[in-house]
Structure 1
Amino acid sequence: MKEKRENTRLHYATIVVGGGQAGLSVSYYLQKHGINHVVFEKNRIGHSWRHDRWDSFCLVTPNWQCRLPDFPYQGDDPQGFMLKHEIVEYVEAFAKKVNPPIMEGVSVNRVWRGKNGVLHVVTSNGEFTADHVVIATGGYDIPIVPDYAHSLPKHITQLHSVDYRNPDQLPDGEVLVVGSGQSGVQLMEDLHLAGRKVHLAVGSAPRSPRMYRGRETTEWLYDLGFYDLTIDKHPLGDAAKHKTNHYLTGRGGGHEIDLRKFALEGVKLYGSMANISGSKLEFLPDLTKNLDDADEVYVSIRNDIDRYIAAHNIDAPVEPPFRKVWQPEFDPTAIDADRENITSIVWAIGFRPNYRWIELPAFDGRGFPQFDRGISNVDGLYFIGLPWLHTWGSGRFLGIADDAQYLAGIIEGRLAVKDMA
């Protein structure tokens, strides 16, 4: 596949913005329908996996869940967890199979609708028009760093998780990681295993078992139908789209993460970050609650599996009840970074999307796209690769194929109706 294909037309039936696994999957099914299209990728295929992850990064879901369209994981370790370079190789191999009509190194700067109803796509390589536009850029555009971070003294290094690579990158001294989602706890462990003294501001993220009753938990959840749970059936409804994922890790063959155990090993835990005033770091008094809430979700997953085993009369080993191995004596609300010798802060509190370049009324008041199974309320505009696009599996290697196939089918049907008109 060429690094960059030159454009030979100005109008396409469909333009796909983003050449990651989601955009490539859409292209795969558009080709099956014979729909002329182009994929614009501002960087290079596999860029975010290659450049926006830390050195020891690996998947938190096992390799058997890597099921891009007609391209399942074919290695010899289905229960393992791909390392960063292996993920890049998997995505690049899929791209080679798809052989998409892609233009790499082309950024999309504006999407708007002309008076004739056609969608206009303005790129760094010229302007194009399309009947349909699929946005496959993901929602990780702008790293979140709170405004009060600006008051941190200059002698304390701070960076976002997207820029973290390894412990040696940070100056000598202790490190505060802010955020206990998947990235936060994995970076905390990365630093802890390297012998660094680590502090962790614990948020409201839930946690999950890794192995339970003789089997990997995601296998149980797959059998229970959790990955097929649709957003309309979720108790929280659309609010589930903004909930943090359960934390666990695939590192070293995979294991669960119990922050209480890390506290016993010397990691200092605090509640949610609240403010910074000079070298004074302030936290909400919610450490105990956040640990308890994460454990409550952890236990509820175990209970769901227990009920499934009982209902299906499955012979599975019994495990002892969960118990807390550590409890904070109090919820600390402030520390002095200089006194604690904290010389760096790593922000791991997520990202927010940036869709300001899409000049169409497809977003809510917070700038998040509104859609039903990826179909927006704007005629001809679609989204893919986002959490809970349709199911809990959406946005993952496991669920992208179904989402892409569905959208390509919708586009094919609408083009057919247009041709008949």
Structure 2
Amino acid sequence: MAVERTDTLVIGGGQAGVAMSEHLGKQGVPHLVLERGRIAERWRSERWDSLVMNGPAWHDRFPGMSFDGEDPDSFPGKERVADYFVDYARMIEMPIREGVEVMRVTRNEGRAGFTAETSDGVIEALRVVAATGPFQQPVIPPIVAEGADVVQMHSAQYKNPGQLADGAVLVVGAGSSGVQIADELNKAGRKVYLSVGPHDRPPRSYRGRDFVWWLGVLNMWDAAAPPAGAEHVTIAVSGAEGGHTVDFRKLAEQGIILVGRTEGFDGVVMRFAGDLVDNVNNGDANLMSVLDAADAYVARNRLDLPEEPEARKVGPDPDCMVNPQRTLDLKEAGVTTILWATGFKTDYSWLKVDAFDENAKPIHQRGVSSAPDVYFVGLPWLSRRGSSFIWGVWHDAKFIADQIAIQRGYAAYKGPED
């Protein structure tokens, strides 16, 4: 069988792969995109049924296409988002092969380029772009042994409340996923314990503007690196039910029992850190800092945006904060499911190049790898705070495509004629 060849091979057909293909196409770079599932597969099959975007439709999109038929201030559901990328791929005539898994990519010896071993045969390319994104392998901390008498599930496996066995649920993780799932389970009549770790808690909207707008005008999206110590802090914000500011005290008022960060399990009893009150208060402080910056911007620019004093009101601490619970006997509490909303890690085990540090994280500068002709796109903080968002991926992909075009230009130079 003849070996297929292309200039640039893009691995991954989600938002990063679609953006990468658009910019490579504009630069005239021959390329091929491989996706092991369908375009934007993770939006369809690895998210819960009621998931919506965390940013409004006017903002979380590519510049070349709006969410037709959607209110610009709405938060489209996951299937609508997946369809958006399918439509976008069709619009740009993306050269993609779905249902093709890449098992191994190695650098060629004694000649330029790489060889990719795939479920559809061998493909050679001069360049490789890893566009598989940050949500590759669900992370479940090794706290509860697999043989424990409780079902353990990651948020990537969760679909809806009816999927779970009868009984109470412990949700571990208070970022956007954990909060939204806990709220959904509580409204479905489940008893819910929510383990709250350190987090940022921005306002969903303030003074008539969504928080994504505030981060834009305050130049926070372009921050080049997270604040020291905040590299892994989760963000608690929700687009569910039309969008609202996450308020842990209100969640407690609605029946959710808040506990601190999950620390350990002895086979019967779960242990929690004594940091619940600090975590909630620090989240409040983060909220107030955004409101302060927004107010200062309004005053500085003399904008006619309505004041919103209610946004600064903090309700009374619920009993679960006044008397924090440090232990939980799962059987006694009727907990039958632990749902881990504890994030993901990357998996580049298929990419056999010297491009990673001792923790298997890519070594790169704005997505340009330390390994020649290898590129990464779609990762958090690839170039800025907005890198893992839909619009941020688009801008990062443009930069990487530009670098590829520059390298192709140098390679095409033949030297002065004799």
Which residue does the alignment assign to 2:359?
366
Instruction: Give unpaired runs (5+ residues) of structure 2.
Output: none
- Cα distance in structure 1, aligned partners of 2:61 and 2:158: 28
Q: 1:41 to 1:248 in 2, by over 3 A?
A: same
Matched, 1:144 2:139: yes
Instruction: Please tell me the residue identity of whatever aligns with 2:181.
Output: L
* Contact 1:138-1:386 within 8 A present in 2 as well: yes
- Residue by residue, what CA displacement relative to the aligned partner does 1:53-103 show, whole Å, maximum 9, x if unpaired? 111110110011133252233334000000122112211111111221111
- Residue by residue, what CA displacement relative to the aligned partner does 1:345-390 show, whole Å, maximum 9, x if unpaired? 1111011111122111211221111211111111100011111111
Matched, 1:74 2:68: yes
Which residue does the alignment assign to 2:92?
98
Equivalent position SS for 1:162? coil
- TM-score under structure 1 length normalisation: 0.93
Instruction: Please tell me the residue identity of whatever aligns with 2:130.
Output: I
- Cα distance in structure 2, aligned partners of 1:246 and 1:292: 14
Q: 1:184 aligns with which of 166, 178, 182?
A: 178
Which residue does the alignment assign to 2:328?
335
Following TM superposition, by how much is the alpha carbon of 1:212 offset from its aligned partner in structure 2, in angstroms?
1.2
Matched, 1:89 2:78: no
Matched, 1:289 2:278: yes
Following TM superposition, by how much is the alpha carbon of 1:322 offset from its aligned partner in structure 2, in angstroms?
3.3
* Contact 1:280-1:336 within 8 A present in 2 as well: yes
Q: 1:11 to 1:69 in 2, by over 3 A?
A: farther
Which residue does the alignment assign to 2:397?
404
Which residue does the alignment assign to 2:313?
322
Report % sequence identity: 37
Matched, 1:15 2:9: yes
Matched, 1:36 2:30: yes
Following TM superposition, by how much is the alpha carbon of 1:318 offset from its aligned partner in structure 2, in angstroms?
2.1
- Cα distance in structure 1, aligned partners of 2:141 and 2:90: 40
Q: 2:269 aligns with which of 280, 304, 310?
A: 280
Which residue does the alignment assign to 1:4?
none
Instruction: Please tell me the residue identity of whatever aligns with 2:131.
Output: A
Instruction: Give unpaired runs (5+ residues) of structure 1.
Output: 1-6
- Residue by residue, what CA displacement relative to the aligned partner does 1:116-136 show, whole Å, maximum 9, x if unpaired? 242222212222222111000
- Cα distance in structure 1, aligned partners of 2:300 and 2:274: 41
More moved, 396-405 vs 327-336: 327-336
- Cα distance in structure 2, aligned partners of 1:341 and 1:78: 43
Equivalent position SS for 1:306? helix
* Contact 2:174-2:234 within 8 A present in 1 as well: no
- Residue by residue, what CA displacement relative to the aligned partner does 1:293-313 show, whole Å, maximum 9, x if unpaired? 111111111111011111111
Matched, 1:51 2:17: no
- Cα distance in structure 2, aligned partners of 1:406 and 1:8: 33
Following TM superposition, by how much is the alpha carbon of 1:202 offset from its aligned partner in structure 2, in angstroms?
0.6
- Cα distance in structure 2, aligned partners of 1:299 and 1:145: 32
Which residue does the alignment assign to 2:239?
250
Equivalent position SS for 2:116? strand
* Contact 2:144-2:267 within 8 A present in 1 as well: no
> RMSD of the alignment, in Å?
1.8
Q: 1:73 to 1:311 in 2, by over 3 A?
A: same
- TM-score under structure 2 length normalisation: 0.93
Following TM superposition, by how much is the alpha carbon of 1:151 offset from its aligned partner in structure 2, in angstroms?
5.6
- Cα distance in structure 2, aligned partners of 1:379 and 1:71: 33
Following TM superposition, by how much is the alpha carbon of 1:190 offset from its aligned partner in structure 2, in angstroms?
0.9
